[in-house]
Amino acid sequence: MDQTQTINFGAGPAKIPQSVLLKAQQEFLNFSTSGISVLEMSHRASDFIQIINRTESVLRELLNIPANYKVLFLQGGGSGQFSAIPLNLIGLKKDMCADYVVTGTWSEKAAKEAEKYGKINIVHPKMDSYTKIPDPSSWTLNPAASYVYYCNNETIHGVEFNFIPETNSVVLVCDMSSNFLSRPIDVSKFGLIYAGAQKNVGCAGVTVVIVREDLLGHTLKECPIILDYKTQAELNSMYNTPPCYSIYIMGLVLEWIKSNGGGAAMESLNQQKSLLIYDVINSSNGFYVCPVEETCRSRMNIPFRIRSKEGDATLEKEFLEGASKKGMISLKGHRSVGGIRASLYNAVTLQDTEALATYMKEFLRQHQ
Ligand code: PLP
């Protein structure tokens, strides 16, 4: 099948805007006047220093990042940050403890990893299923905690915060891997924000960390040096060889976001796109079932089943095969939950989403 006809609804690595891929292709063999590919370039070369500096400056502009925040480009993925966060921040206060809000697989994994380094308090009763955000008025936050951690968008379960939790001045830490730059955000409300690039801002290999300067320097002595924020901040993310090509691609995607209207434009587009799919689900008389409570349904990852919460395996298989024949790929739900999941990151267009909505309506007509 012609590549341009394929629509990638994958959860990550995910669709990258076509114009970005074309630019990368154009520059692949000879970046600027260097005569070589970015893949071959020394991270100390002036061309690469320009790439990384430009990437940081566009990111600062898009998110209006205050001057007292450092921007780091690290390796190890989101999972690396599950360890790096407690290693760097749990020592902020003498009790060596942290509060976690657990609303899905990713925050659950982060909390479990953090338990290696300090005392972790899950601020709400354990949930039977990840289909909602427990009412913040019922959370028991510990004022002695070094930080409060949450995941802004649970990629597998499709649960997204549409508010910033109030922590009574305790440092707030947020995993924004799957909704980074999908809408504007007030960075000053956070101590630390991180996001793997491979969903909304590029390809796998680089994780961006935005951290307030006064939080640096409290690292546990056993912290591996490449995860030490202070060291990486002092060396412009170049303690060791950074993921050069992934940073370059991120830079191109950020330029694309900027030229397409920035966070506010992404937000309005993402709202429109997700509404298209939720409308089909909500008006299907229970044929399509999204288990997530309406108030916290994700605009990025929409999980749904067919006929019931448990799903109808035969129909779901048929749905996925039919979608694939129409060029719509990677709609299978995460292997841990099954079903169907449509990921509608920034690069997925309104037209792509309309194609999916049309197919869903067609499939409904044929099977209800
Ligand atoms: N956090 C979220 C919200 C994710 O969706 C993922 C992966 O999909 C991760 C963390 C882990 O990222 P990685 O696979 O890069 O370690």
Q: Could you report the per-residue pLDDT of 24-83, keeping only the tens digit for each?
A: 999 999 999 999 999 999 999 999 999 999 999 999 999 999 999 999 999 999 999 999
| Minimum-distance ligand 1 atom for the alpha carbon of 204 | 15
Question: How many Å apart are CA 19 and CA 263, to the nearest integer?
Answer: 18
The question of whether 256 is a catalytic residue gets the answer: no
The answer, yes or no, to whether residue 3 has pLDDT greater than 70, is no
Q: Is the CB of 106 under 6 A from ligand 1?
A: yes
CA dihedral 119, 122, 123, 125 (to 10 degrees): -140
Tokens of 277: 């799919």
Q: 3-class DSSP state for residue 138?
A: helix
Of 107, 174, 178, 181, the residue with max ligand 1 atoms within 8 A of its CB, to mutate for a pocket test, comes to 178
Are 64 and 86 in contact, with CB atoms under 8 Å apart? no
Question: How many Å apart are CA 104 and CA 119, to the nearest integer?
Answer: 20
Are 92 and 146 in contact, with CB atoms under 8 Å apart? yes
pLDDT at site 368: 86
End-to-end CA distance of the chain: 30
The complex's ipTM works out to: 0.99
User: Averaged over 236-263, what is the pLDDT?
Assistant: 98
User: Averaged over 347-367, what is the pLDDT?
Assistant: 98
Dihedrals φ, ψ of 14, to 5°?
-130, 180
| pLDDT tens readout for residues 277-289 | 999 999 999 999 9
What stretches of the chain show up as alpha helix (H) in DSSP?
A: 18-27, 46-63, 77-89, 105-114, 229-234, 244-259, 262-282, 313-325, 350-367
- Based on DSSP, count helices (H) and strands (E) in the chain, helices before strands: 9, 14
- Distance of CA 243 from the midpoint of ligand 1 (Å): 17
Q: Tokens 């991180």 correspond to what residue?
A: 194
pTM metric for this prediction: 0.97
- The single residue of 199, 273, 332, 352 carrying the catalytic annotation is 199
Q: Is the CB of 134 under 6 A from ligand 1?
A: no
Q: 3-class DSSP state for residue 231?
A: helix
HSE, CB side, 13 Å, CA atoms: give it for residue 111. 21
| pLDDT tens readout for residues 94-140 | 999 999 999 999 999 999 999 999 999 999 998 989 999 999 999 99
Tokens of 14: 């995910």
CA dihedral 217, 220, 223, 229 (to 10 degrees): -20
Q: Smallest Cα–Cα separation from 269: which of 329, 197, 196, 348?
A: 348
